[in-house]
């Protein structure tokens, strides 16, 4: 029996010839990266546990979340990382360089067949070149820096064959938005996806990066592309050495195979709040206040050329602010050389230095309460890019909308933007408070239920990005779930030992460890969900926060506040109000080991 691409990469990096889905391996990591918001916590873990660095030449900082250094806490965290880097001879890609995941490819730190980890939840974008990248929490990254390897569970693989040829105006962003429409956020949850087909062979590196960057929004562990000659030549030019890519064996086994005709794909947008909630551009006008072009998904030179072709000779509509942020400094300079910066400025756009921008709440691109934004980002969770509403779209659609004043495509730009009447929208932000409570963690617990009947509760809902600079766990609890509608007062009312029960894909989104640590701060006894975001699940396991997968929660016939008894060894969950019980997944061997050890360290 042959191996899939993910299995080949993980096998070669763990000293194994044959592996199977579900195997837990110690995987050697070729590039170990911490960003500016997670980097300070990585340093804290290294210093707290007196760990050394396995290989400084494979260890890096990338400061892409706040490349302007405009926030005092970010500035303090960046300085802490710089001092640590000097001491340990670690390379820093500082605030002038751009998005770390892109730099890993540009600088030749990662090549086809490589492994990499980062505190960036979109590290799986490296699948664009056929490499395995994973976003992880600060504890995982600290362990990888120390050991040079980290444990990982081999995911099952899915093959996706894209057939046909899309309309010439369908972009890579439209391709992935159509895939989100087909698969949603749960169908591919926990799978490694390999995308093949004649159409795929002709995709450029920039197009592959756009699609691969939204693997996280599809729920997938990664999206892996077989490298074509263009990708191989690029990687060889960045490394100065011969590259041997990794391809699946002809007899590799896949959990699912999907054949998809892309010829019927249309221009789509994601509606506010959910990347997978996509729609065709509506006939009724949706007025916008701002537009953003950039992020790891659409900040490449091809994206910016497309935007410039629409902005050339046009001006941003009155009342609309357009913000443009190249992905890397190399892309920024290319824009300068090709005259794109001049086009952007003449159109009335604000151009910032390279970085993550609005997605990370640390640079231009954030919006305010009531503001409507159209963005090329990969996420539009509530609060992710500010306090307003965010639609996701391709660079062409964003540029067309910016000059029109409302959401539209490149073929429907009016000769003169219509006049809109503005309405003020007021939103009230509520603060919640809590107490930090810590207690014993027995194998069987009983606790009051917080039953949240929602799927896809993302990490911005759990722990909003405006609190990412908080590094003390004791301060994190008061922010738990304050960005989840209806649960703004959760932290004020939660008690030690309480149990959270939720639907599918709990903890999707960012790799932020705080989304786990805030519940530890409150003393939450356990989180039960139908499924968890892959990064979130391992962050919780590493932090010894009990998480249990229960596929059919409705069997318990829960009511809010019911008392549950949960056994981590057996996986038995019992509703003490009605006596109903169900078999959930018990702790795995490694989960139990880390739980007994009170965490990874």
Is the pLDDT at 41 greater than 60? The verdict is: yes
pLDDT for the residue numbered 72: 79
Indicate which CATH number applies to the domain containing 521.
3.20.19.10
Shared domain for 510 and 586, answered yes or no, is yes
Q: What is the pLDDT of residues 515-524, one digit of tens each?
A: 999 999 999 9
Buried b (16+ CB within 10 A) or exposed e, 492-529: eebeebbbbbbbbbbbbbbbbbbbbbbbbbbbbbbbbb
418 found inside a domain: no
Shared domain for 522 and 560, answered yes or no, is yes
User: Distances from the Cα of 33 to the Cαs of 9, 119, 364, 493, in angstroms?
Assistant: 19, 7, 24, 37
> What is the pTM (predicted TM-score) of this model?
0.86
- Residue 69: band (very low, low, confident or very high) from pLDDT cuts 50, 70, 90: low
209 found inside a domain: yes
Is the pLDDT at 438 greater than 70? The verdict is: no
- Residue 592: band (very low, low, confident or very high) from pLDDT cuts 50, 70, 90: very high
Q: What is the rounded CA–CA span in Å between residue 100 and residue 91?
A: 12
- Tell me which of 210, 241, 264 is where a domain ends: 264
429 found inside a domain: no
Shared domain for 274 and 374, answered yes or no, is yes
CA dihedral 503, 509, 513, 517 (to 10 degrees): -30
Shared domain for 212 and 314, answered yes or no, is no
435 found inside a domain: no
Shared domain for 186 and 62, answered yes or no, is yes
421 found inside a domain: no
At 181, which helix (H) or strand (E)? Answer: helix 172-183
Short-list 297, 291, 32, CA closest to 145? 32
pLDDT for the residue numbered 37: 79
Short-list 327, 122, 276, 126, CA closest to 208? 126
Shared domain for 294 and 175, answered yes or no, is no
Is the pLDDT at 429 greater than 80? The verdict is: no
Q: Determine the average pLDDT of the residues in 170-194.
A: 97
Shared domain for 338 and 242, answered yes or no, is no
Shared domain for 388 and 459, answered yes or no, is no
558 found inside a domain: yes
- Tell me which of 211, 232, 264 is where a domain ends: 264
Indicate which CATH number applies to the domain containing 170.
3.30.499.10
Is the pLDDT at 426 greater than 60? The verdict is: no
pLDDT for the residue numbered 434: 35
- Residue 169: band (very low, low, confident or very high) from pLDDT cuts 50, 70, 90: very high
246 found inside a domain: yes
C-alpha 12: how far from chain center: 26
pLDDT for the residue numbered 65: 87
Shared domain for 246 and 320, answered yes or no, is no
Q: What is the rounded CA–CA span in Å between residue 367 and residue 426?
A: 13
Q: What is the rounded CA–CA span in Å between residue 511 and residue 439?
A: 26
- Tell me which of 264, 296, 328 is where a domain ends: 264
Determine what percent of the chain is predicted with pLDDT higher than 90.
87
Shared domain for 85 and 170, answered yes or no, is yes
pLDDT for the residue numbered 343: 98
Shared domain for 466 and 585, answered yes or no, is yes
Shared domain for 534 and 398, answered yes or no, is no
The domain in which residue 379 lies consists of 268-412
First to last CA, the chain: 37
Mean pLDDT of the chain: 93
Token pair listed for 296: 């790891």
Q: Determine the average pLDDT of the residues in 217-241.
A: 96
pLDDT for the residue numbered 437: 35
At 476, which helix (H) or strand (E)? Answer: helix 473-476
Q: What is the pLDDT of residues 341-390, one digit of tens each?
A: 999 999 999 999 999 987 766 678 788 889 999 999 998 888 778 889 99
Q: Determine the average pLDDT of the residues in 244-268.
A: 96
427 found inside a domain: no
Q: What is the rounded CA–CA span in Å between residue 34 and residue 91?
A: 11
Short-list 121, 39, 42, 188, CA closest to 459? 121
- Residue 459: band (very low, low, confident or very high) from pLDDT cuts 50, 70, 90: very high
Q: Determine the average pLDDT of the residues in 134-146.
A: 96
Short-list 453, 501, 504, 461, CA closest to 483? 461
- Residue 466: band (very low, low, confident or very high) from pLDDT cuts 50, 70, 90: confident
Beta bridge partners of 278: 270
Q: Determine the average pLDDT of the residues in 252-274.
A: 96
- Listed in order, strand segments (DSSP E) in 262-375 are 268-270, 278-280, 290-293, 321-324, 350-351, 372-375
Determine what percent of the chain is predicted with pLDDT higher than 70.
96
Domain count along the chain: 3
How large is the C-alpha radius of gyration of the chain? 23
């Amino acid at each position: 029996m042959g191996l899939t691409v993910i299995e080949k990469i993980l096998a070669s990096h763990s000293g194994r010839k044959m592996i199977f889905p579900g195997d837990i391996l110690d995987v050697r990591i070729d590039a170990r990266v911490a960003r500016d918001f997670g980097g300070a916590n990585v340093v804290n873990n290294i210093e707290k546990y007196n760990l050394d660095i396995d290989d400084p030449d494979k260890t890096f900082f990338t400061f892409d979340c706040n490349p302007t250094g405009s926030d005092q806490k970010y500035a303090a965290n960046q300085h802490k990382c710089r001092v640590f880097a000097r001491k340990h001879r670690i390379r820093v890609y500082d605030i002038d360089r751009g998005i770390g995941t892109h730099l890993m490819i540009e600088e030749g730190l990662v090549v086809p067949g490589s492994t990499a980890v980062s505190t960036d939840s979109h590290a799986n974008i490296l699948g664009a070149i056929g490499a395995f990248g994973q976003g992880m929490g600060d504890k995982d990254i600290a362990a990888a820096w120390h050991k040079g390897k980290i444990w990982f569970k081999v995911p099952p693989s899915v093959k996706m064959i894209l057939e046909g040829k899309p309309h010439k105006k369908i972009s890579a962003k439209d391709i992935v938005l159509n895939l989100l429409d087909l698969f949603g956020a749960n169908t591919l949850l926990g799978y490694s996806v390999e995308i093949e087909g004649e159409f795929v062979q002709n995709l450029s590196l920039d197009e592959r990066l756009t699609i691969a960057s939204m693997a996280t929004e599809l729920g997938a562990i990664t999206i892996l592309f077989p490298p074509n000659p263009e990708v191989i030549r690029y990687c060889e030019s960045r490394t100065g050495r011969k590259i041997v890519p990794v391809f699946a064996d002809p007899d590799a086994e896949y959990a699912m195979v999907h054949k998809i005709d892309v010829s019927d794909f249309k221009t789509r947008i994601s509606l506010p709040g959910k990347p997978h909630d996509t729609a065709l551009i509506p006939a009724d006008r949706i007025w916008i206040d701002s537009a953003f072009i950039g992020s790891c998904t659409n900040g490449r030179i091809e994206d910016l050329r497309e935007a410039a072709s629409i902005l050339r000779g046009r001006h941003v509509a009155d009342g609309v602010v357009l913000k443009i942020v190249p992905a890397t400094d190399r892309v920024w300079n290319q824009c300068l050389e090709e005259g794109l910066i001049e086009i952007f400025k003449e159109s009335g756009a604000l151009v910032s230095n390279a970085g993550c921008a609005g997605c990370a709440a640390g640079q231009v691109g954030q919006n305010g309460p009531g503001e409507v934004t159209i963005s090329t980002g990969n996420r539009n969770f509530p609060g992710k890019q500010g306090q307003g509403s965010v639609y996701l779209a391709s660079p062409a659609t964003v540029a067309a909308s910016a000059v029109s004043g409302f959401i539209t495509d490149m073929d429907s730009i009016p000769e003169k933007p219509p006049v809109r009447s503005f309405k003020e929208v007021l939103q009230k932000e509520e603060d919640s408070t809590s107490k930090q409570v810590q207690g014993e963690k027995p194998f069987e617990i009983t606790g009051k239920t917080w039953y949240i009947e929602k799927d896809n509760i993302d990490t911005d809902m759990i722990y909003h990005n405006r609190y990412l600079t908080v590094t003390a766990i004791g301060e994190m609890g008061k922010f738990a779930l304050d960005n989840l509608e209806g649960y703004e007062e959760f932290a004020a009312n939660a008690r030690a030992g309480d149990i959270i029960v939720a639907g599918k894909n709990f903890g999707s989104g960012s790799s932020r460890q705080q989304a786990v640590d805030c519940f530890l701060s409150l003393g939450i006894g356990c989180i039960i969900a139908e499924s968890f975001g892959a990064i979130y699940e391992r962050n919780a396991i590493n932090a010894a926060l009990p998480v249990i997968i229960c596929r059919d929660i409705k069997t318990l016939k829960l009511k809010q506040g019911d008392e549950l008894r949960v056994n981590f060894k057996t996986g038995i969950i019992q509703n003490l109000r009605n006596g109903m019980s169900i078999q959930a997944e018990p702790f795995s061997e490694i989960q139990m080991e880390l739980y007994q050890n009170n965490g990874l360290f």
